[in-house]
Amino acid sequence: MFERLKFAPAAVAALGLLTGAAAAEGLKPAADVKIAVVVHGNSSDAYWSVVKRGVDDAAAATGAQVQYIAPQVFDSVEQARLIEAAVATKPDGIVISLPDKDALSSAVKAALDAGIPVINIDSGEVAGEELGVPMYVGTTSEYQAGIKAGERLGAMGIQTVACINHEVGNISLDERCQGINDGLAKTGGAAEVVAVSQDPADVTRRVEAYLAAHPDTQAVFATGTASANPLIKYFDEQDLWSKYKLYTYDLGPEILQAVADGKMGFGIDGQQYLMGYLPVIYLVQYATHGLWVQNDTYTGPLFIDTPEKAKGVQQLSKEGTR
């Protein structure tokens, strides 16, 4: 069983590149380290492509053998199967995301029971802790981030919000919408969830129908790039920017351009590149040197809420790191 020992802390800057053979018994050189990254987001998605870029860069920096594995579409049952398959290969570490505790608990426990170090990223921080996962890398509480966003909207006088959820049942996205609602409630407002799929046409169709049926809606809040990008296009085509406000979680080139142009109110940056990069670094360090950082690592939220801020990170987004 992998014991959740807390080793002496080491700053990321001090981790360095790993070269040469590991000296201590039970450790190994970085080139022999095998890590499986098994998450719910396919790398074809704009958000998860940045996570994968982080994974790939960490693999290149360390020389470790790292695989990025994900279902073709959001499917927690399939993700659980992929985690179980990864466990069977006996890797030196596994990185997971935890969007659905019930569907993934058995697979995650199998990894822990096999003595494999596990790090959770992006979603299900509390759920991971309850299962015994020793570390989380990602945004600090999606719910609290949602509250902050809802409070911001309330301070602007916004009372009615449509929260567009493209993965209903994903703990993180559900908590994002709940947080927005509870943040708005402090000033008498509320958010209603609009369930959509990741198909851009479905996003547009369902949001259009919702807005037609709820003419008092003041703002639309996307829960990620999968819903934000088609909505930006829809707002442009229908000239809706003066009628509704548009906000989103997560960043991408289209979102940053909309903020830079003064159209979109803000995007919430979870810095997902670090969610891919840091866990690989941490697991390689554990396998080669027995090092384990003391605490979870929080990568967000950051609010990109002015054209100047958006322009400042646009090039990095185009390069695949933001």
Q: How many residues does the chain have?
A: 322
CA 286 to chain centre: 23
CA dist 288 and 295 (Å) reads 20
The arithmetic mean of pLDDT across residues 127-143, rounded, is 94
- Residue 128: its pLDDT value, please? 96
* Average pLDDT for the chain: 91
Q: Give the model's pLDDT for residue 25.
A: 61
Closest of 123, 152, 170 to residue 299, by C-alpha: 123
Q: What 3-state class would DSSP assign to 18?
A: coil
Distance (Å, whole) CA 249 – CA 267: 5
Query: CA Rg, the chain, in Å?
Result: 20
Across 207-263, the runs of DSSP E, i.e. the strands, are: 219-222, 245-249
Residue 125, SS3? helix
**Which structural domains are found in the chain, ordered by start?**
12-139+272-299 (3.40.50.2300), 142-270+305-318 (3.40.50.2300)
Query: Residue written as tokens 């959770």?
Result: 120
pLDDT, tens digit, 9 for 90 and up, residues 241-283? 999 999 999 998 999 999 999 999 999 999 999 999 999 999 9
Q: Would you list the DSSP string of 68-100?
A: EE--SSS-HHHHHHHHHHHHHT--SEEEEE-S-
| 162-204 pLDDT, tens digit each | 999 999 888 889 999 999 999 999 999 999 999 999 999 999 9
Band of the pLDDT at 318, cuts 50, 70, 90? confident
3-class secondary structure, 317: helix
Question: What pLDDT score does 23 carry?
Answer: 41
The structure tokens listed for 259 are: 């903020």
Residue 40 is classified by DSSP as S
Q: What is the pLDDT of residue 317?
A: 87
What pLDDT digit, counting tens, does each position of 193-249 carry?
Answer: 999 999 999 999 999 999 999 999 999 999 999 999 999 999 999 999 999 999 999
Distances from the Cα of 196 to the Cα of 169, 201, 224, 226, 250, angstroms: 12, 10, 12, 10, 17
Sequence-ordered list of residues with C-beta below 8 angstroms from that of 291, at least 6 positions apart, any chain:
7, 8, 10, 15, 285
- Of residues 12 and 185, the one with the higher pLDDT is 185
